Amino acid sequence: MPPPPAPSPPKPVARVDTGPVPKPSEAPQIAPPKSEPIVKDLDAITADGTLRVLFTFNSTGYFIYRGETMGYEYELLNAFARDSRLKLKPVVVRDSNELFEKLNRGEGDVVAAQLAATADQQEVAQTAGLYETAPVVVQRGADAPAAGSTPTVKEALAREKKETTPSNITIRARLIAKPSELAGQRVHLPRVSPYRGRLVELNAGLADDIEVVEVDESSDKLIQRLSEGEIGFTVAAENLAQMRAGEYTNLIVKPAIGPPQPIVWALRRNAPQLLAALNRWIEAKRKASLLAVLYRKYFLDRRGFDKRATSPYLTTETGTLSAFDDAFREYAKIPGWDWRLVAAQAYQESRFDPNAHSWAGATGLMQIMPRTARSLKVNPRDPRASVEGACRYLWQMDSAWKSIANEDERIKFILASYNVGTGHVQDAVRLAEKFGDDPKSWDDVAYWLVRKSKRNVYNDPVVKHGYARGTEPVAYVDQILGRFENYRQFVEEAPATGVGGLEARPPHLLARFTITAASTITPTPAAAANITCCCCFDVVTRPRSFSGCGARPWRKSSSRPSKTSTRSASISVIQCDSLPSPN
């Protein structure tokens, strides 16, 4: 990097924030946890089967990109959980000042938030270091707009600035070449920045105080604001700052204000078993080069970082999972599901690739089998049609599993049926019932589904569909629901009137009808021109009655008429009784 230009005469620093600014010695420390740590060590975590990790959003540690959960710390902890036969449950903490309090209360077992090790830490235990990075001053080297953003990103940033920034003042601060030149300057830090203490030490030897503004924003966000001219200085980890400088080319990442510090995870101080297990695992993986491989992936691969940073599918920044989010939002209303759950299933099926094709013949975004596509009358190669057909099929299977009253449990049965076929899941239900397990509990049914690969099990008299490689549908359900939980934390559910009710159905699935008798449905005069069966999509025109496929009204309607009712339903759709086989 060329040397910085000669310092220009100091200019008055325009201040956007109002009110007194604390000096480092007066700025509040991270709030110590109010609660004493609960007693929960590795033995209890193992018995529970779940490792809960407290994450904060950032561009290298924990984020979602093109539907996949990623991040240096996420991948490491996911590998640790897998090696320990545990399920990883990410818990996003939006107010980073609450990390240690939530840890002590048992809402998480590990804090993974790019924490720098401190020698005087008394509140929590710290693991061995994952890597080391130095604290550096990040400053703006030019008044030109930041480079590296796409037109869409620039438009979004302009809108954000217009709607959220109280003034359009641009901060112009003289460049500094050594840490002592921060005297009299305002430095913005994340509220839980590990580098605040270093600024305090630096400030002690200066004639003029460093003014510190601590905000509940990530270093990523502060670097973006700095590049756009909203703030003058921040202090960040050198490896992160260097990566961001590849996106925002007007940044200068120097000088360092201290030596490299280890980045660690935090645990409750009364969890020695977990601490020892994590430290052993970290050292083993360090020797096996896993830490170095992941460090290269997230901190040295600038091309990959820039690609993620400028992508509309970096969900942490854009709130967008894929190019098909609108279709998920629209058609998830058919089965009454959260659209993010349908998106999680789509990722599991095709990784959001509408051209995906499996060895078994499944095609498209939702991997619909040819026979099912024909019965649904959809073109699975068309992404919207694929999502629509899959959601209609999910709705049909909802009826097949109506005996499972608990909706969360029923969704698991439906997902497994989508993957392996309803018949195999029904076999597992019968096995569970025969051998004294709960046939309405997914955990019990999953056990028997896994066992259906054993000869003595698939030859049992209650089994009607033979051998099944049951580990696949069970893992399929776990992976989709785990991904769904991640999506829920990154993406808000767009409000939709009547989600889960008839009024939320797509317009072409809505019609007025009167049920007269024996599943014969006659359109009322209020119907525009026809009724469409959402299963076979046969069109029934007025005034002819419709009973050709044994249609029935959608059973989830809060005011659903029965098949023998003579009253008119205000809005509804009709559905075939004959459900196509998933395979």
Q: How far is it, in rounded angstroms, from Cα 101 to Cα 268?
A: 10
Among residues 274, 295, 315, the one where a domain terminates is: 315
Same domain assignment for residues 355 and 331 = yes
Give the pLDDT score at 119. Answer: 77
Same domain assignment for residues 150 and 248 = yes
Residue 27 inside a domain? The answer is no
Q: What average pLDDT score do residues 452-460 get? A: 84
Counting the structural domains of the chain, the total is: 4
Same domain assignment for residues 140 and 213 = yes
Token pair for 11 = 């200019």
Same domain assignment for residues 346 and 410 = yes
Residue 365 inside a domain? The answer is yes
The answer to whether 418 and 438 are in contact (CB under 8 A) is: no
Q: Which residues contact 63 (CB under 8 A, 6 or more apart)?
A: 57, 69, 70, 71, 308, 314, 315, 316, 490
Confidence of residue 505 (pLDDT cuts 50, 70, 90): very low
pLDDT surpasses 90 at 306: no
Q: What average pLDDT score do residues 459-467 get? A: 87
Q: What does the pLDDT look like over 541-573, one tens digit per residue? A: 333 333 333 333 333 333 333 333 322 233 233
Same domain assignment for residues 330 and 429 = yes
pLDDT surpasses 50 at 161: yes
Give the mean pLDDT of the chain. Answer: 75
Same domain assignment for residues 158 and 237 = yes
Peptide bond into 272 cis (omega under 30): no
Half-sphere exposure of 526 (CA within 13 A, CB side): 10
The dihedral sign for the CA sequence 430, 431, 436, 440: negative
Token pair for 224 = 């973006």
Same domain assignment for residues 436 and 481 = yes
Give the pLDDT score at 160. Answer: 52
Instruction: Single out the residue of 75, 51, 82 nearest to residue 274, CA to CA.
Output: 51
Same domain assignment for residues 347 and 401 = yes
Higher pLDDT, 65 or 148: 65
Residue 496 inside a domain? The answer is no
Confidence of residue 155 (pLDDT cuts 50, 70, 90): low
Contacts within 8 Å (CB) and 24+ apart, 289-296: 290/76, 290/79, 291/76, 291/130, 291/131, 294/72, 294/75, 294/76, 295/72, 295/131
Instruction: Single out the residue of 328, 347, 349 nearest to residue 339, CA to CA.
Output: 328
pLDDT surpasses 90 at 130: yes
Same domain assignment for residues 110 and 173 = no
Q: Is 349 a catalytic residue?
A: yes
**CATH number, domain with residue 397:** 1.10.530.10
| Residue 402 CB burial class (10 angstroms; 0-12, 13-18, ≥19) | exposed
Helix, strand, or coil (residue 468)? coil
Same domain assignment for residues 118 and 267 = yes
Which residue shows structure tokens 């996949």?
68
Confidence of residue 185 (pLDDT cuts 50, 70, 90): confident
Token pair for 95 = 């107010």
**CATH number, domain with residue 244:** 3.40.190.10
Q: How far is it, in rounded angstroms, from Cα 440 to Cα 329?
A: 29
Q: What does the pLDDT look like over 353-383, one tens digit per residue? A: 889 887 767 889 999 988 888 888 899 999 9
> What is the pTM assigned to this prediction?
0.57
User: Which of 239-243, 522-526, 559-563 is least confident?
Assistant: 559-563
Same domain assignment for residues 191 and 204 = yes
The answer to whether 71 and 35 are in contact (CB under 8 A) is: no
Give the pLDDT score at 501. Answer: 35
Question: Residue 567 sits in which domain range?
Answer: 502-575
Residue 14 inside a domain? The answer is no
Give the pLDDT score at 583. Answer: 37
Same domain assignment for residues 141 and 251 = yes
Higher pLDDT, 171 or 86: 86
Q: How far is it, in rounded angstroms, from Cα 568 to Cα 357?
A: 44
Higher pLDDT, 11 or 407: 407
Q: How far is it, in rounded angstroms, from Cα 73 to Cα 112?
A: 6
Q: What average pLDDT score do residues 430-441 get? A: 94
Token pair for 89 = 């449950």
Q: How far is it, in rounded angstroms, from Cα 253 to Cα 237?
A: 10
User: Which of 21-25, 377-381, 417-421 is least confident?
Assistant: 21-25
Q: Which of 73, 238, 247, 349 is catalytic?
A: 349
Q: What average pLDDT score do residues 228-232 get? A: 87
The answer to whether 99 and 193 are in contact (CB under 8 A) is: no
Instruction: Provide the strand spans (E) within 96-167.
Output: 110-116, 125-126, 131-133, 135-140
Q: β-pairing, 50-55 with 110-116?
A: parallel
Instruction: Report percent pLDDT > 70 for the chain.
Output: 69
Q: What does the pLDDT look like over 48-60, one tens digit per residue? A: 999 999 998 777 8
Which residue shows structure tokens 């209609």?
392
Residue 181 inside a domain? The answer is yes
Give the pLDDT score at 431. Answer: 95
